[in-house]
């Protein structure tokens, strides 16, 4: 049985962890022809908003664009260059369909790729579905912002984000050159 003082210490440590943890700022871009035209409601964007906010993090921007490379690039570039978001999530446009060009748009504007995040998401997804090997999602860094492509389905988007959640605070601290435990 733990002592009262021991329980108080554990509680204090947990509270300190919550206090010390960063408030990350996210922007979420849904890439979908049909949703951008109002033909289908966006389900993935709101699912990601809910997951991000459940972590105590903030949503600073959210938008929907069609599967158009120039439109995707322009928003990703503007959002990353503004410095308002630490992490930009995209949802949609990562598969094999002819208009799925989110990875190409992302690669065109990032300065450094972050393949470990992509590999972790695909490896975890393969345990759920063999279709995970059809993902072409990429992630990378532009200036001080991490950009991550996620699948277009709410289930796929949230499952993939949950895989990398434990690494995001550390990644952002490194990008900001803060003391990240090194």
Q: State the CATH number of the domain containing residue 60.
A: 3.40.980.10
Average pLDDT, the chain: 91
In a domain, 11, yes or no: no
- How much is the pLDDT for 164? 98
CA distance 16 to 120: 29
Nearest to 26 by CA among 84, 66, 92, 91: 84
> 47 pLDDT exceeds 80?
yes
In a domain, 122, yes or no: yes
Domain span including residue 115: 23-175
| Selected residue with higher pLDDT from 177 and 154 | 154
Q: How many domains does the chain have?
A: 1
Nearest to 105 by CA among 165, 160, 29: 29
DSSP track, 75-135: HHHHHHHHT--SEEEEES--SSSTT--HHHHHHHH-SEE-HHHHHHHHHHHHTT-GGGGG-
In a domain, 107, yes or no: yes
Q: What is the mean pLDDT of residues 87-94?
A: 98
| Selected residue with higher pLDDT from 4 and 171 | 171
- How much is the pLDDT for 177? 85
In a domain, 15, yes or no: no
In a domain, 62, yes or no: yes
Model confidence, pTM:
0.87
CA distance 136 to 130: 14
In a domain, 65, yes or no: yes
In a domain, 16, yes or no: no
In a domain, 93, yes or no: yes
């Amino acid at each position: 049985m733990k002592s009262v003082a021991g329980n108080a210490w554990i509680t204090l440590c947990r509270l300190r962890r919550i206090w010390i943890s960063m408030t990350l700022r996210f922007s979420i871009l849904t890439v979908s022809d049909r949703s951008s035209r109002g033909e289908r409601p966006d389900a993935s964007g709101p699912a990601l908003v809910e997951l991000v906010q459940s972590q105590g993090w903030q949503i600073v921007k959210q938008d929907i664009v069609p599967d158009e490379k120039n439109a995707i690039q322009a928003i990703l570039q503007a959002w990353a260059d503004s410095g308002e978001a630490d992490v930009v999530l995209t949802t949609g446009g990562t598969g094999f369909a002819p208009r799925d060009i989110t990875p190409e748009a992302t690669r065109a504007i990032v300065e450094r790729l972050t393949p470990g995040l992509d590999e972790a998401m695909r490896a975890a997804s393969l345990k759920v579905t063999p279709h995970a090997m059809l993902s072409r999602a990429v992630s990378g860094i532009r200036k001080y912002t991490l950009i991550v492509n996620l699948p277009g389905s709410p289930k796929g988007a949230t499952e993939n984000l949950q895989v990398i959640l434990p690494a995001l605070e550390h990644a952002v601290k490194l990008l900001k050159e803060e003391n990240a435990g090194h």
